[in-house]
A and B are shown apart, each in its own frame.
Chain A
Amino acid sequence: MRRIIGLVIVNIIVIAVLAFATKYFWTKANLIVIADNMMLEVVILAGYTLLLIGGYFDLSVDGIAAICGVVLGLLINGGTNWVTAIFVGLALGVLIGIFNGVVVAKFKVNGLIATLTTWWICIGFSLGMTKAISPYNFPDAFQVLAQTRIFGFRVLIIYAIIAVVILSVILHWTRTGSRIYVSGDNQQSAELMGIDTVKLGIILYTLVGVLASFVGIMMASRLDAASPSTVDGMTLRVIAAIVIGGGSLSGGKGNIIAGVLGLVLMHVLSNAVIQLGISPYWQKAMLGSVLLVAVLSEKLNLKGAFKK
């Protein structure tokens, strides 16, 4: 809770500064743009938080999103009905997730190297199948899935809310959630308590796989193009956001809402460099510095304040 309050305060301070310092940051249109571009990452973050808390790691998310989007795009362009193509895309995400889960949880291959190879294979297939030319020009009915607007926001915000609510409930109010925390904190103890950590690991990887395929499909719908480099870098941003939100890379700790607040901070800062007209050469330095200050200030200053 302390972490959430700290991140809320940091976000408010950064947003307030930007609202005063720039002309267009604090406008409805800009806030919608920030939200729209963040929501698919929120969907992944919700599932990825469970995976990380469970003590697992997955680098293949960008690749799964890419290959599922590309397969869907090629199928639609090849004449397949878009509904069928969506099911094929989602099924592919499930299969890759199960594969990751079996390799890591059952056969105990290091999650980092196992999912790194899955990522490469997925990206390789995406590029090989498309020769880097994104399939595009999809049916209007398919585009509606990500482009419909509700109160000005893309419908993606609804998907994100659904993912966050359902997975938060599972994490905090069900036995499965408790098992995920216990398993990530100490796998041996969890097994002694009768928790099937292998099954749990496979389920978590499958969850991330299906969410990643959903993201790839929604990106194709949103842009009307299925790029093989659709969300490159998303995995690391999501992991960074979860860690900013108090998650631990070694498992057992983490919170979806805190992770979302970390992601908000990152997207606000990305938007800020454009609003402030910061030179492209300095953008990453500025982003990294502000994030570092945010994490450290939350860690050092607020700790004392909340002890009182």
Chain B
Amino acid sequence: MNIQTSKGFLALMIVASLVAGLIGGAVPLVYTKVMHTPEPVAEVVEVVVTPEPAPEREGTYYFLAGNNSDPFYVDGVKGFTEAAESVGMKSEFVGPMDLNLASQMKTFEELVASPETKGIFWYPMDFNAGEPFVKAAVDAGIPMVIGAADSPFKTRNAFIGYNNTVLGQQAGAWAAKLIDCKGEVGTISVNGPNLDERVNGFNEYIKSVCPEIMLHERATHDGSAASEAATLEAYLIAHPDLTLLWWADGAAGVQAGLWKDKQAQGVKTLFLATDMPQATLEAVRDGIFVGTVAQDTYTEEYWGVLLMDALQKGLRVPDTLYLSALLIDKTNVDKFLTK
């Protein structure tokens, strides 16, 4: 192989990628074992997965998302994969590793054009940009189910997920209760339509129920751990009397160590997280975070596949299925932690 030319280099890269793929495939997948419930808090019901996968059928169900390196997706991908196995379909988690809309749209277009595609479960980054592909998929007879945040166009076959406004309201109600409707409240998240809805729901609820609470403008980070840490620290300085901070996306767990350090320095602000990666749950257990407003993405994606499968078989499915957030604090966190 002549490495001194671009072709030689390309060949080297292909070989390196193949080696990477082989090694990656050999690394055991470690998932957080989480029990799931359709009810907020209260009793936990474990979803029982069919022990023997069904006979394999032709085609693949795709889970198309964005910022796919976020640990938020781990539970959801597990639910998606297990549901697909239970109906004998292949499944694949696709989309950009960052918040790259163009890349998500390119993948969307490719999925719609591929005969392998038997269903698309889409986490939207931009409703307008994705609408032509949603329509094209439906026109081509590809079951099209949306998760995370529903499109205003309603041209998809079905939606399952969280009403982000309601999730924000649930977080707002909990926050108001935690601080007895007094003090200052702030929010941090990445940008995105679901996060906008969520934070708006949170702020509107607090404004309507606790008008005396001072609400601060949301701070945004770019999704990297370094940016999150810098944003968190700067936000605390800008608002030194903050009573409660709601971290509205699922990345709070990586900052648990930093927050513990802040608490050791005397910071009294309550930290309310979102979602339930293991690190977040452990921070709740250890009293570093006061609680977390969690989406049960395992259930969302599991049922997303079953909706696509029902559509694939020509059955009618509900237009919209809303799930309820789980409110996890020290009193019930053990039910969700991996033993």
Contact = CB atoms under 8 A, between A and B. Distances in A.
Interface of A: 22, 24, 27, 29-30, 33-34, 36-37, 40, 103, 107-110, 114, 117, 121, 123-125, 127-129, 131-134, 136-137, 143, 147, 219, 222-225, 227-234, 267, 270-271, 274-275, 277-281, 283
A224 B225 contact: no
Contacts of A103: 3, 9
B217 A278 contact: yes
Contacts of A136: 253-254, 256-257, 279
A232 B224 contact: yes
Contacts of B229: 37, 222-223
B60 interface: no
Given A103-B9, A223-B258, A231 B224 contact: yes
Nearest to B283: A136
A275 B6 CA distance: 48
B312 interface: no
A134 B97 contact: no
A279 B196 CA distance: 12
Interface string B211-241: 0000011111011111101110111011010
Contacts of A24: 237-238, 240
Contacts of A121: 13, 16-17, 20
A280 B221 CA distance: 9
B225 A225 contact: yes
A128 B24 contact: yes
B73 interface: yes
6 tightest Cβ-Cβ pairs between the two chains A and B: A224-B257, A128-B24, A232-B224, A37-B230, A280-B220, A227-B225
Given A107-B4, A136-B279, A270 B230 contact: yes
A159 to B, nearest CB: 15
B74 A223 contact: no
A36 B233 contact: yes
B200 interface: no
Contact of B74 (A132, A147, A224, A225): A132
A37 B224 contact: no
A280 B219 contact: yes
12 contacts: A24-B238, A24-B240, A37-B233, A121-B13, A124-B20, A124-B24, A134-B279, A222-B258, A229-B69, A230-B225, A274-B238, A280-B218
Interface stretch (B27-35, B147-155, B291-299): B27-35
A225 B69 CA distance: 15
Interface in B59-113: 68-71, 73-74, 97-98
B9 A133 contact: no
Contacts of A267: 230
Nearest to B260: A224
Given A133-B277, A147-B261, A233 B227 contact: yes
Contacts of B23: 125, 128
Candidate in A103, A280, A283 with the most chain B CB atoms within 10 angstroms:
A280
Nearest to B237: A30
Contacts of A29: 237
Given A109-B9, A132-B71, A219 B222 contact: no
Nearest to B2: A107
B145 to A, nearest CB: 23
B71 A133 contact: yes
B279 to A, nearest CB: 5
B54 to A, nearest CB: 25
Contact of A27 (B226, B227, B231, B237): B237
B30 A219 contact: no
A107 B9 contact: yes
B278 interface: yes
A33 B234 contact: yes
Interface in B19-48: 20, 23-24, 27, 29-32
A109 B235 CA distance: 44
Contacts of A129: 24, 27
Contacts of B219: 274, 280
Contacts of B231: 274
A33 B233 contact: yes
Given A225-B279, A229-B69, 8 more contacts: A27-B237, A37-B226, A107-B4, A132-B71, A133-B74, A136-B253, A227-B224, A230-B224
A59 to B, nearest CB: 14
A131 B225 contact: no
B191 A280 contact: yes
Nearest to A143: B257
B332 interface: no
Nearest to A133: B71
Contact of B234 (A109, A228, A275, A280): A275
A33 B74 contact: no
A244 to B, nearest CB: 19
A33 B236 CA distance: 10
